[in-house]
Amino acid sequence: MRKTKIFLIFSLFFLFVFLNGCTVKPKYSNGVFKSIDSADSWQQKVNICSLENEVRALDRVDVNALVLDPQDNKTIYLGSKKQGLFVSFDAAESWQKIRTFPKGEIMSIAVHPRSKHIVCVAVDNQVFRTLDAGRTWQIIYLEAIPKVIINNVTVDPLNPQRIYLGLSDGRLIRSEDDGFSWATINNFKDQIREVLVNAYDTQRIYVSTSQKGIFRSDNRGLDWISLSESLKGYSGAQKIAKIIFQSYEPEVLISANDYGLLRTNDSGETWTEYKLLTDHGKVKIISFAVYMPDPNIIYYVALDKNVVFQSIDGGLNWTPKSVSTKNQLSQLIIDPFNPNILYLGMQSFNN
């Protein structure tokens, strides 16, 4: 009986210490917010299970990248501007800092499509990879040209040994052997923002740039087609913020740009605009998300606005939903299995 009491007291003490190390009342409004009711309400999710004298909350962290594990919707990776790499295994209820990760500004994160313990992270001019869920890291690419940043890392969904990197000087480089060797496959002469490889047709690749619009390859990068001509009727559409696949069909793509939101159903040959609440060119969309099982469900966030805009009818009507923060909404992702669950990454306005 006495041993049982001692064990119970010890267990309660351990639980108190553990929870105390993971639960902190946030003072600032950065980090991550989560909604479980289609953006009607938001809760700040910033608690870190930390050691003594370490950062114990994400509320001052500027979020550069927010990525869901494609195999596990409860695992989320967060790449910050300067404060490191974080991971949550319980749908953002708590976070852990990956202490073994090198310092620097994290630009992009790619999780292996079949092996969740393998993750590639672009930080400044380097790409690191872990094979053991973040315990150790190795450099698989180091850019030799000063001040060139790696903006995007993408892993081929069907052949994970094939890795693409989009660089700030316009080069698209590729490895066919899991990062051991690399080759430049094209130079777009403009900063690459994103590289998309369709999971159902990996021959088809889209590359978005800052000023020159979107390019498409139908033969895995051997030849490229500029989609600029089809975007000429939309002022500002060449300045791309983000592109995503709208559905499981490789021909359907959505672009957020200085014009607004545009959709193509024929691989960029023609485009249709979404009618937003503001006139085209009057709002700068910086992130958006589509629920793939039902592409009528769309969300987007804009520069200088603490509002998430929602449509449930394919963009015909929009509902603005406020977020209680004084900072910039920077990253928006949606749970692939539940359209009611969304995550928002925040940044300070001076960033």
With tokens 């030849």, the residue in question is 223
* Averaged confidence pLDDT in the chain: 89
Does residue 7 surpass a pLDDT of 90? no
Q: Rounded CA gap, 16 and 23, in Å?
A: 10
Cβ atoms of 200 and 248 within 8 Å: the answer is: yes
Among 160-174, 193-207, 232-246, 299-313, the range with the most confident prediction by mean pLDDT is 160-174
Q: Rounded CA gap, 332 and 339, in Å?
A: 13
**Residue 224 pLDDT grade (very low, low, confident, very high; cuts 50, 70, 90):** very high
Q: What is the pLDDT of residue 55?
A: 57
Q: Percent helix, strand and coil across the chain, each rounded to 5?
A: 5, 40, 50
Q: Rounded CA gap, 173 and 152, in Å?
A: 11
- CA 192, chain centre distance (Å): 15
Does residue 1 surpass a pLDDT of 70? no
* H-helix or E-strand spanning residue 241: strand 240-245
Q: Rounded CA gap, 76 and 279, in Å?
A: 35
Question: Domain spans of the chain?
Answer: 18-250+324-347
Check whether domain 18-250+324-347 has CATH 2.130.10.10, yes or no: yes
Cβ atoms of 221 and 185 within 8 Å: the answer is: yes
Instruction: Tell me how far CA of residue 122 lies from CA of 29, 84, 101, 169, 191, in angstroms.
Output: 26, 12, 11, 15, 15
Q: Rounded CA gap, 299 and 245, in Å?
A: 14
Higher pLDDT, 220 or 4: 220
Provide mean pLDDT across the span 80-93: 95
What's the pLDDT tens digit per position in 110-123? 999 888 899 999 99
Does residue 24 surpass a pLDDT of 70? no
Percent with pLDDT over 70 in the chain:
90
pTM of the model: 0.90
Q: Rounded CA gap, 268 and 84, in Å?
A: 37
Q: For residue 150, which of 250, 79, 87 has the smallest C-alpha distance?
A: 79
Tokens of residue 86, six digits: 């974080």
Cβ atoms of 310 and 334 within 8 Å: the answer is: no
Does residue 18 surpass a pLDDT of 50? no
Instruction: Determine how many CB atoms are found less than 10 A away from the CB of residue 260.
Output: 24
Q: Rounded CA gap, 154 and 51, in Å?
A: 33
Cβ atoms of 351 and 329 within 8 Å: the answer is: no
Q: For residue 260, which of 247, 232, 241 has the smallest C-alpha distance?
A: 241
Q: What is the pLDDT of residue 54?
A: 61
Instruction: Determine how many CB atoms are found less than 10 A away from the CB of residue 7.
Output: 10
Q: Which amino acid is at 210?
A: S
Among 15-29, 206-220, 279-293, 336-350, the range with the most confident prediction by mean pLDDT is 206-220
Backbone angles phi, psi at 215, to 5 degrees: -120, 150
- CA 308, chain centre distance (Å): 16
**Residue 268 pLDDT grade (very low, low, confident, very high; cuts 50, 70, 90):** very high
